[in-house]
Amino acid sequence: MELVKLLDVCDEEQRLRIIAILTEDPVKLVKISLKTHGHHF
């Protein structure tokens, strides 16, 4: 599932948790951001 689609179905608290987890590891965030076909968790 693409991250954008995942965020569309999450509520505000879930989105904030996802963002907090992703920003713990800046390298992971950059890799996800650079993927043009989405990211699978």
* Each residue's pLDDT tens digit, 1-41: 576 787 789 899 998 998 888 888 878 778 777 776 654 55
Contacts of 2 (CB under 8 A, 6+ apart): 38, 39
Q: CA 13, CA 27: separation in Å to the nearest integer? A: 23
Residue 13 located in a structural domain: yes
Half-sphere exposure in the Cβ direction for 37 (13 Å, CA): 1
Residue 40 located in a structural domain: no
Looking at the 3D structure of the chain, how many domains does it have?
Answer: 1
Residue 39 located in a structural domain: no
Q: Is the dihedral of CA 36, 32, 2, 12 positive or negative?
A: negative
- In terms of residue numbers, what domain contains 14? 3-34
pLDDT at 14: 92
Residue 17 located in a structural domain: yes
